Structure 1
Amino acid sequence: MLLRNFLPHSLALVAWLSLAACTRSGSSSQPSETALPASFNTDWEFVRDVDTVVGPAFFVREDKVRPWAGVLLPHTPRLEAVVTKEQQWQGTCFYRRFFRVSAADTSRRVAVRFEGAMHEADVYLNGLRLARHQGGYLPFTVDLTPYLKANVENCLLVKLNNQDNQAIPPGKPLKDLDFNYYGGLYRPVQLVVQERLRITDAVEAARPAGGGIMLHYENVSEQQATLHVQTEVRNDYRDARISKVQTVVLDAQGKEVARTLTDAPLLTPGAATSVRQLLPLAQPTLWSADRPYLYQVVVSVLNDKGQRVDQQRLSTGVRTIRFAPDGFYLNGQKTRLRGTNRHQEYPYLGYALSDEMQYRDAWKIKEAGFNFVRCSHYPPSPAFLQACDELGLLVMNSIPGWQFFGDAAFQLNSLQNVRDMVRRDRNHPSIVLWEAALNETDMSKSFMDQAHQAVHEELPWPTDVYTCGWLDYAYDVFIPARQHAKAPDYWHKYSKQKPILLCEYGDWEYYAQNAGFNQTAYAGLKASERTSRQLRGQGEQALAQQALNFQEAHNDNFIGPAIGDANWLQFDYKRGYDPDIESSGIMDIYRLPKFAFYFYQSQYGPVPDALGFGKPIVFIASYAQASSTPRQVRVYSNCSEVELQLDGRTLARQRPDQDRYSNQLAHPSFTFTVPAFATGTLRAVAYQNAKPAAEHTCRTPGSPHHVQLSFDKSGRDLTAGRQDAVFVYATVVDAQNTPIPTATTPIRFAVTGDAELLGDNPVAAEAGVATTLLRAGRTAGTLRVTATTEGLPAATLELPSVNP
């Protein structure tokens, strides 16, 4: 099987113990000294576009032929321009790392786990090729133990090729693909050291419903729940071993709420067994989107002396889910799925995001008012899923695929992707749907049957497991895009007794199908005006039209049996088949919001959830620019009334709209008529229970006066030593600190401290904001960013870079 094509002399793959770069498992006694590094994401060397024949020189430091450069992981082979006629880099690149191990470590089990290597990888140690892996979105692990040399330098070499390969999903040539897949070791690499009596890894074990640790809940209510824990223990010693499995459950405060100890069967050399345990939980706090409460499950393997020889710690949420034709039920409560789609790329860095950057993306999706995200069109980073667990985002996890159905090798790899995705991610409470389907692809019935069955074989529970696919055939939930049906009814009249969830809407209809059937002015708009593909720099009218398109489509999706929807999409992104940005995101590629962001934000609340999302909000979708005639201004709010003022004079205080764009919404928009003015200040005050709850002010901008600097934290500090990066924004403002949306001023950035700036420099402002990407170095400290532009005073921002 191509996806997991390991050479015969490779041993079974090592278990992944945690998201840390290097994890040590030890007994309860003092661990022995080791020469293994504290982190395995540092001290790599990289080269690309060189002779691809691997020879002895690759494994010695004194390689004078190839220009090896020192790098940290995650890493991208080339920083990519945001907009260019040149296609992203494809080719062969190499990563290598020199490291030492002690004799004590060679008596254990040492392996290397790759979270994401795009997309064909050959792994060598000291000149010997140990493994080949095909597939860029899911992990694989290589056992190094038999080939390590103690107390001398070992060289680990990874050869990667991200060129088109129709056997490797998504399979479609990049020049025809509606997204990019970038190269490199773009997710963390872990060096894992375990005792030879150990917990296995689910992906490595490659057994249906087996390997590693698998969690499942039954009899769930607010009064009780039963946690089923299945742990696979393996003995790699040369003699039989006795072991026990101990499982402890801790609540969010670290208090123990359940414990059990179970004898494992006697394990002969090379044997593995699954130990099943039941732990009753009294009055559990249930996990939900509004209150994402997490427990910790700590599973330990004890030897015959009662010493801990291996341990894993997992977070878990107690919850039930049910999809039915009339709705989605979370913990028995009917819940409308209000979602978006997300591509994982960043400008310049492609896929090479730190765990903190993954968290910030999830934070922004939650901040936008969504409770659901589809991982289009491939499995995301484990760090993103962990963030969804913590923030309360329901997830549709997806295999790689888009408009391509390859030959037998491709199909075999796709089915392996299904299993590996489920094995890697099965314990996340956030995941409610498994998209075991190739998006917008004419799959065979046989393939769909096998993909659907694979999920249920991996998760053999009678409840809480649901597959989904864009074709209405084998899957538990039907997930068409809105545009897969015709206006004006779309999916209003879908009558099958199957849950239907609209997994994409708001883009293609308005781009290609003239879908604005309710908009009275739509027929007179040019194609460039009616589309939802609008960059921030295209102005107020374009952004207002995009927001109206999304509002109209979202409102229409409530008509009929759909149990929820996911717009296309959260962030602008790049794609292989077009050099331009795909700009239907409600935030741009730099994670700056467009007007549509605030429409969606207004659909959540106004009572804050447990994490503070969903507060009362109000937003004026206007730049308050001069107008010689009266005009309509739309205001978004989740409150019951809004008052709009112009220069302190109340224009109106009114209830929400009840028009054809709003009549199905939880929180319709507010439309005001604003008289002509040359300059002025618009102020909106939102009222809830007759009391002011939120306000927003926008002013007619004056002349450029200075630059303001800010940076995007989104719940996570900039972290040193982890390739973490944050966006720094330079906003051109007038003397009253009003942003100037027409400013295109080039701005140059500089930084002092242990950090670097990535990408273009200077950067032209778009809609008044120039953005740079600031990456922290190895040491924590205060960083100082300066922005300069001709004719305006320099601006300075200090921000901290913190330790992990």
Structure 2
Amino acid sequence: MRERLSMDRDWRFHLGDPVQAKESSHKAVYGLAKAGGIRGPAGMEWNDNEWDTVQLPHDWSYQQPLDRENGVPDFGYYPRGIGWYRKKFKLDPADQGKQLLLEFDGIATHAAVYFNGSILERNFCGYTSFTVDITDRAYFGDQPNLLVVKVDATVSEGWWYEGAGIYRHVWLTKTAPVHIAHRGIWVNPIRQEAGRWLTNVETTIRNETEAAVEYQLISRVEQADGNIVAEELASGSCAAGQSLAVTQDLPIEHPALWDVDAPHLYKLYSILVVNGEELDTAVTNYGYRTIRICPDTGFYLNDRPLKIKGTCNHQDHAGVGVALPDGIQEYRIRRLKEMGSNAYRCAHHNPAPELLDACDRLGMLVMNENRNFDSSREGLRQLENMVTRDRNHPSVVFYSLFNEEPLQGTPIGRKMVKRMIRAVKKLDPTRPILGAMHGGVMEDEGAADVTDIVGFNYMNGGYDKFREKHPNQPIIGSETVSAFSTRGNYISDDSRQIFDSYDREKASWGNSVRESWKTINTRDFVMGTFVWTGFDYRGEPTPYEWPSVSTHFGIMDTCGFAKDSYYLYQAFWRDEPVLHIVGHWNWPGREGRQVKIMAHTNCDEVALYLNDVLIDRQPIDIYEQYEWDVVYEPGTLRMEGYKGGQLVKAAEIQTADEAHTVRVETQKLALSGDGRDAMAVNVYAVDGQGRFVPTEQCKMSFSIKGSGVILGVGNGDPNCHEPDYAAERSLFNGCCQLIVQSKVVEEDIVLTIEGDGLQPASHVIPVQPVEELPFVPSVDERYINNWLITQEIAAERPDPNVMIHPTDMNSWEMVDVSFGALQMLRGASGYVTYRNQAPISDVEKSGRPYLWFHSISGDIEIYVDGRLQLRQFLPWPENLEVPLLGAELKDQITISVLIGITSDMYSPGIQGSVSIRTK
């Protein structure tokens, strides 16, 4: 049966290219040209004992110090470079004959994947998931497999912080030779009449055997409560070495629809049976929903008109770079949902699979975006990869092919788009396609009128003009606003590179929140908006550069703390009463001076009180809101919101005293004790009465006990240079955040938080026992298995330390001893010599190193650099420990093993792995 195992644990990591001696001998060049002959850090014998041990997902970039002199502002001044990852692991002998597939969800940026000494794959996009078939090259039993990934992050694909490394999950999938193909299931529910649906399922069966097989395919639909609501059986024959697409239609009556407010999901169980045996089972989550676009009235979900209320987002988060745990993916989507958002644009790249899973569960529409505008073979491969991976997600409702491309309004761009559309529609004709354009929309030979939708990036005044020319072309604001604000700040200051929060600071090409939403919401033919951006992100610190290292565009900061515009969007996008006071009421030294206060509300009227004295009551225009200049005096500022003359909402802010301690809020009540679950822990400065202190900036430190680790910290300050990969952080305008991850231990986490001049605070995070996700453990031993052996069996005892001429590839044969005893030695008499070389590190030298032969027999003499280390007779295969004696071990040793054999020996020679260990 199918197994899917996590490969995330315990990788060896080296930042930069390891120093290695240049090898130019015939032996080295000859060996490098052979399968399995890779040497250096991608080779089995490379010593990685002094490399770091890291867990995936892993982003090394944000963990490095900022570099103003050599860094790039667009990348947030974080260095990138080259990194190497190595993982050694064993496979059970029972896995022989299975299909073995490695799945890489994302590596930034270019990657070369080596397996057991050969390069098996190169990937050229940091946002593309890809697979590597290791079936033919895998070892089983005692011999470990070596997986090596070289990551070249000197290459960039974007103009924002992209991170560096294996920053998404890696999986090993094991299947029978006859199996359901990888990404071989496409579920396409088709609505019929009177509440009836046909669940159209296309399942690709793959037969890797050498004979045709008769199969049965059972497709079974279960609803959330586990009840089976549909089942179909198909049978047939699949030829040897071939793939076969099987189509089934499963009828279902009145399914619960997937919607943004009620995201009902179903499971499809695909069961493959051959000769009465279940060989493979795959589970696919999907939903029933319809989408439709109208050039006059916009977007429809399940025949209900729905204004798209979306945000654009990159994929980094405070404390973890782009290596987001799954729990933080969900945290971000929940924060957007709480704001009233119903759509997410993956800007400008294919997202992590777990983000789409969260959108499916929580009811968030998705514009899935292609990274590279490219109609070449490689470009189309990346595009097809996106579609086949993501087309079963009900949340995905748009495919975007490009963003702001110079060729978008040209005949060349038009031809490229047409080719790319054909590639998508061949795999998925159900979703509308667009490009996010910042110009060229009025050109007759451009791309605007060949896509299903035209995406407007800004061009806020161009909607009407385009509609006049193209009345039948649907329009969406694919990127809008680009307003600036700094969380908790209410005075713009160029010298400090911060902005106020009154919705008046914006980029030269952008608009205020209110301007943009009014333009879109008052035009039914514009189906909605994707605001730039939901969250601040590292890099692109527009309009400033150093010391700014992240953006000011976000509705929330890099931690997900709300800026004031968050509540303006709530007022626009949510139905229930919203009333928020823009500003704080802690202004020591400003008594008697005016302070600007603003309302963000969807109420008809707002009354403003200071210390229970009415200052003013004003009707509210939803698109304009209202602001007051209030003479400051400490106390309580209160707003009351009215609808139809009735009080429906109240809000107040108070003058706080000096900070006394902190208040802790967690993303969820508990962590799962699986070693993977993570949560955001938000920390707020409060005074002695528990009131938030919005001006506190003191340094906080964190310690943790129990089954948890602190992955990182952040505070949302776009100009902060404190490290994220740390256990301390300054508050920024009263707030900071930790990312806490569980360990595989059933013990609650106790988090202690201390700050300069503040009372320490303690917070307990319960850890709930859960079944651990199956994973592939790493092997730490260093193996030396590619040995030379004399091809001829000598009748007389030879010199075991004889020199081998560099060009002699014929009197010595290379063998992998882990495969067991050599047939040529059985029944023979005489002598054979094995030869190998192995590097020895300083750590190993100081640790009493020894050779460990997992299985060896015969009349044995073992030499190291010409010196006899051990002589022993073993008539039967046994393991053998050989101390590496000598006052001075070289950095690379030569090992010679002379074995005398007789015809009556059962299994002479080295017949198992050889490793170097230390005591």
Q: What's the TM-score bracket when you normalise by the shorter of the two chains? A: 0.7 to 0.9
- Equivalent in the alignment of 1:14: none
Structure 1 residue aligned with 2:731, among 757, 760, 765? Answer: 765
Q: CA deviation at 1:691?
A: 6.4
What is the aligned partner in structure 2 of residue 70 from structure 1? Answer: 53
Asked if 1:320 is matched to 2:290, the reply is yes
2:120 is aligned, of 123, 130, 140, to 130
TM-score normalised to structure 2 length: 0.71
Correspondence for 1:201: 182
Distance 1:239 1:763, change over 3 A: same
**Deviations 1:746-791 (Å, cap 9, x if unpaired)?**
1222222233333244322211123333333343432122222222
In the other structure, the counterpart of 1:575 is 539
- Name the counterpart of 1:256: 228
- The more displaced of 77-86 and 442-451 is 77-86
What is aligned with 1:435? Answer: 400
1:422 Cα shift?
0.6
1:91, distance to aligned residue in structure 2 (A): 2.5
CA contact (8 A) 2:339 2:567 kept: yes
Write the distance in 1 (CA, Å) between the matches of 2:641 and 2:568: 14
Unaligned runs of 5+ in 2: 21-36, 72-76, 438-446, 486-490, 713-724, 771-919
Structure with the larger strand share? 2
Structure 2 residue 430 is matched with structure 1 residue 475: no
Report the counterpart of residue 697 of structure 2 in structure 1.
744
State how far apart, in whole Å, the 1-side matches of 2:460 and 2:42 are: 57
Give the counterpart letter for 1:795 in structure 2: A
Partner residue of 1:191 out of 172, 182, 199: 172
The residue correspondences of 1:159-308 to structure 2 (distance < 5 A) are 159-165=149-155, 172=157, 177-202=158-183, 212-220=184-192, 223-263=195-235, 265-305=236-276, 307-308=277-278
Cα–Cα, structure 1 residues 91 and 192, in superposed 2: closer, same or farther, change >3 Å?
same
Which residue matches 2:610?
Answer: 646
Matched, 1:603 2:572: yes
The structural deviation recorded for 1:92 is: 2.4
> What SS class does the counterpart of residue 704 from structure 1 fall into?
coil
> Radius of gyration: which is bigger?
2
Change (3 A) 1:491 1:446: closer
**Are residues 220 and 379 of structure 1, via their aligned partners in 2, closer, same or farther at CA, if it must alter by over 3 Å?**
farther
Q: Deviations over 1:164-222 (max 9, x none)?
A: 44xxxxx65xxxx43122221111111111111111123xxxxxxxxx11111223567
Aligned length: 705
The question of whether the paired residues in 1 share the 8 Å contact of 2:219 and 2:270 is answered with yes
Is residue 2:743 matched to residue 1:777? yes
* 1:153 partnered with 2:124: no
| Aligned counterparts of 1:682 and 1:232: Cα–Cα separation in 2 | 64
Given the alignment of the two structures, is residue 506 of structure 1 paired with residue 473 of structure 2, yes or no?
Answer: no
For 1:6-155, what aligned pairs fall within 5 Å after superposition?
25=2, 39-51=6-18, 56=39, 58=41, 63-64=46-47, 67-80=50-63, 85=68, 86=71, 87-155=77-145
How do residues 363-374 of structure 1 correspond to structure 2 at under 5 angstroms?
A: 363-374=334-345
Alpha-carbon distance between aligned partners in 1 of 2:192 and 2:648, rounded to the nearest angstrom: 37
Q: Measured at CA, do residues 654 and 733 of structure 1 come closer, stay the same or move farther in structure 2, by a change above 3 Å?
A: same
Higher mean C-alpha deviation, range 619-628 or range 236-245: 619-628
* Distance (whole Å) between structure 1 residues aligned to residue 377 and residue 403 of structure 2: 13
Q: Of 593, 602, 607, which aligns to 2:562?
A: 593
Tell me the CA shift for residue 672 of structure 1.
6.1
What is the root-mean-square deviation in Å for CA atoms of aligned residues? Answer: 3.3
User: 2 CA distance for matches of 1:62 and 1:75?
Assistant: 25
SS in 2 for 1:701: coil
Write the distance in 2 (CA, Å) between the matches of 1:700 and 1:491. 51
Q: Is the 8 A contact 2:43 2:117 kept in 1?
A: no
Give the alignment's TM-score, normalised by structure 1: 0.80
Contact kept? 2:216, 2:273, Cα under 8 Å: yes
Task: Give 1:157 shift.
Answer: 2.2
Deviation at 1:573, TM superposition (A): 0.8
1:688 deviates by 6.2
Match status 1:706 vs 2:661 = yes
Output the CA distance in 2 between the equivalents of 1:777 and 1:641: 51
For the Cα contact (< 8 Å) 1:398–1:436, is it kept in 2?
yes
Say whether 1:678 aligns with 2:633. yes
- Tell me the equivalent position of 1:338: 309
Match of 2:433 among 463, 466, 473: 466
1:368 and 1:528, CA in 2 relative to 1: closer, same or farther beyond 3 A? Answer: farther
SS in 2 for 1:478: strand
Q: What SS does structure 1 have at the residue aligned with 2:336?
A: helix
Distance 2:65 2:394 in 1: 35
Tell me: CA distance 1:258–1:649, structure 2 relative to 1, closer, same or farther (3 Å). Answer: farther
Q: Residue 256 and residue 454 in structure 1: after superposition, are their counterparts in 2 closer, same or farther (change >3 A)?
A: same
How far is the alpha carbon of 1:486 from its aligned partner?
Answer: 5.5
The equivalent residue for 2:418 is 449
In the TM superposition, what is the alpha-carbon distance from 1:653 to its structure 2 partner?
6.0
557 and 80 in structure 1: CA distance in 2 versus 1, 3 angstrom threshold: farther
Q: Counterparts of 1:52 and 1:324 in 2: how far apart (Å)?
A: 61
Alpha-carbon separation, structure 1, partners of 2:335 and 2:701:
27
Confirm or deny that 1:309 pairs with 2:279: yes
2: CA distance, partners of 1:681 / 1:157: 62
Q: Give SS of 2:526's match.
A: coil
What displacement does 1:290 show? 1.7
Q: Rate the CA distance shift 1:52–1:66 in 2: closer, same or farther, 3 A.
A: farther
State the secondary structure of the residue aligned to 1:142.
strand
Partner SS, residue 184 of structure 1: coil
- Between the aligned partners of 1:222 and 1:803, the Cα distance in structure 2 is 46
What aligned pairs does 1:523-602 form with structure 2 within 5 A after superposition? 528=494, 549-560=512-523, 561-575=525-539, 578=545, 580-602=549-571
Partner SS state of residue 416, structure 1: helix
One-letter amino acid of the counterpart of residue 42, structure 1: R
Question: Secondary structure of 1:503's match?
Answer: strand
1:153 match: secondary structure: coil
In structure 1, list runs of 5 or more residues that go unmatched.
1-23, 27-36, 166-170, 203-211, 512-524, 607-614, 663-668
1:362 & 1:383 partners in 2: Cα distance? 11
**Aligned 8 A contact 2:607 2:640 in 1:** yes
Q: Is the 8 A contact 1:230 1:274 kept in 2?
A: yes
- Secondary structure of the residue aligned to 1:739 is coil
Q: Which amino acid aligns with 2:200?
A: H
Task: Determine the C-alpha separation between the residues in 2 that align with 1:774 and 1:543.
Answer: 36
Asked whether the 8 Å contact 1:449–1:474 carries over to 2, the reply is yes
Cα-to-partner distance string for 1:421-450 (whole Å, 9 max, x where unaligned): 111101111111100124344242221111
Whether the aligned pair in 2 keeps the contact of 1:780 and 1:800 (CA below 8 Å) is: no
- In the TM superposition, residue 639 of structure 1 has moved relative to its aligned partner by 4.9
Question: Is contact 2:586–2:695 with CA below 8 Å preserved after alignment?
Answer: no
1:120–1:134 contact (8 Å) kept in structure 2 = yes
1:543/1:595 contact within 8 Å kept: no
- Contact 2:12–2:48 (CA<8 Å) still a contact in 1? no
Residue 527 to residue 621, structure 1, CA distance change in 2 (3 Å): closer
- Cα distance, 1:642 vs structure 2: 4.8
Q: How does 1:375-386 map to 2 (within 5 A)?
A: 375-386=346-357
Correspondence 1:484-499 to 2 at 5 A: 484=459, 495-499=470-474
Which segment is superposed worse, 270-279 or 74-83? 74-83
Question: Percent identity at matched positions?
Answer: 26
Q: Which moved more, 1:684-693 or 1:570-579?
A: 684-693
Aligned residues of 1:377 and 1:439 also touching (Cα < 8 A): no
Partners of 1:65 and 1:384 lie apart in 2 by 34
Change (3 A) 1:348 1:440: farther
Deviations 1:618-647 (A, max 9, x none): 322221245635666332334555554433
